[in-house]
Structure 1
């Protein structure tokens, strides 16, 4: 008689904990409590009659048996996910989650999302936000958009939007005895940027052939939305990223004081997993995002 399989939920909990080496992180991925993940792993160990983890003080480490088991079940888990993706188009509808930076959601995605829901009524597209690219092992994320150079483990990346960096400010900063008339005038003003990634002001100064200088002060913000709002309020001069700042330029809240820009090595990238490439829903979202980006 063939041995009975352990419950799939226990295997899923083990795989998430083994990948992250944290019951807490695995619990967040699986939308479970930490204690529930711990209990499921313990149940799997009891079912297999083998210890899979060394439980250290606030840390996990795979045992030799755990490492061997993870390597063995990995292809099976991928096969199950691929099987689900392959039959998904036959379902009445599909629910997908797109993970993006909060500023990308507010300034680019949300103004366009109503058009997507109208043109794709069978796809329930959920939007999640994170400060960077999510772990490719997260089962609750189907696609993502992130800033970088295109290299994220576990993700297939395709360039979505180029970036062109240039200063922007409120119109009032162009006026007065210290108004912005030339790049050298920046030393009289606060320079605004994002907390991550850094270095864009320095690279712009090289492009503009502006000698090093000490600005009145520097301020950094957690996202582009906050950055542009601060600049529109007259707090200083912000380093802008192409399409996301366009609504502020269109309504006149921000202006470009100088016609000097540079294209960084970073871009906006659209991320998906190869195993999901056959999913009709994933293909539809990718196609829509790329069409919108090309407008």
Structure 2
């Protein structure tokens, strides 16, 4: 009767010896039954997901393109049972609420509710296509880079260093040129640099292999170690499955880093 009072409708026909559903009661029963069936299906799906071999890795488009993809075939040969799902994002998704097993993040190694291990120190140097680098005039002095066409990374959400920050590290406080190409994704920045559009930031954990392949040229003598790093991050509260641990250790082994835990 409380439910009827709260809804303002009669759900049951009450006779002396018999109770039956009204039309409203039949409708409510059908909807509630359907809702519980959906809930049961959802719970079963989540339980199956927890028992599955899925591993979701969240990273920037550039990391997925230039670090994961060249190594993915070898990983799948050794671990064909693991369904590695790559998620590219221009933000830092919430690991707990978005069902992400592992994430690659830039920072100092400390995120609330997460553990992390360093995979690469953040070291930045200028990169350009080999032709652009060879054609640049008078690059014997670092300040002359100010006169070159620069490619700027302007991510809308994640904090990233700028050319102004890079020049300031070398005690060059002149404003960076306002011209040049401006892009909001580092994968596009690297593609533009390889296409000869100008000089770009080279995060060396991503650009060193491109230099070795002859796709880019760099100035390692103008490297800036920012004091930050790139980390693999996972939830403190969710125990890692065997498959997630395999993926985590694979990334750490590929980067040559020991399992150094940050909490």
- Scaled by the length of structure 1, the TM-score of the pair is 0.63
Change (3 A) 1:241 1:277: same
* Contact persistence 1:180–1:257 (CA under 8 A): no
Cα root mean square deviation, aligned: 3.0
Match of 1:249 in 2: 211
How much does 1:226 deviate?
Answer: 1.1
Matched, 1:233 2:195: yes
Task: Please give the alpha-carbon distance, in whole angstroms, between the structure 1 residues aligned to 2:70 and 2:96.
Answer: 29
Change (3 A) 1:230 1:110: same
Match of 2:61 among 83, 86, 102: 102
Q: Deviations over 1:147-179 (max 9, x none)?
A: 222333332222222121111122333445835
Matched, 1:153 2:95: no
Match of 2:161 in 1: 199
Match of 1:262 in 2: 224
More helix by share: 1
How much does 1:210 deviate?
Answer: 2.8
How many pairs does the alignment contain?
214
Task: Please give the alpha-carbon distance, in whole angstroms, between the structure 1 residues aligned to 2:118 and 2:220.
Answer: 27
* Contact persistence 1:204–1:261 (CA under 8 A): no
RCO higher in 1 or 2 (8 Å CA, sep ≥ 6)? 2
More strand by share: 2
Match of 1:117 in 2: 76
State which drifts further: 191-200 or 264-273.
191-200
- Scaled by the length of structure 2, the TM-score of the pair is 0.70
* Contact persistence 1:231–1:254 (CA under 8 A): yes
Match of 2:103 among 133, 144, 151: 144
Q: Deviations over 1:209-230 (max 9, x none)?
A: 3341442624332222211121
Matched, 1:220 2:182: yes
Provide structure 1 residue ranges, at least 5 long, that are not aligned to the other structure: 1-38, 45-76
Q: Deviations over 1:22-71 (max 9, x none)?
A: xxxxxxxxxxxxxxxxx99xx79xxxxxxxxxxxxxxxxxxxxxxxxxxx
Change (3 A) 1:204 1:276: same
Task: Please give the alpha-carbon distance, in whole angstroms, between the structure 2 residues aligned to 1:161 and 1:285.
Answer: 16
Match of 2:148 among 189, 214, 229: 189
Match of 2:9 in 1: none
State which drifts further: 248-257 or 215-224.
215-224
Task: Please give the alpha-carbon distance, in whole angstroms, between the structure 2 residues aligned to 1:193 and 1:214.
Answer: 10
Change (3 A) 1:171 1:117: closer
Task: Please give the alpha-carbon distance, in whole angstroms, between the structure 1 residues aligned to 2:73 and 2:189.
Answer: 25
* Contact persistence 1:133–1:145 (CA under 8 A): no
Task: Please give the alpha-carbon distance, in whole angstroms, between the structure 2 residues aligned to 1:204 and 1:97.
Answer: 33
Structure number with bigger Rg: 2
Change (3 A) 1:122 1:262: same
Change (3 A) 1:96 1:173: closer
* Contact persistence 1:150–1:157 (CA under 8 A): yes
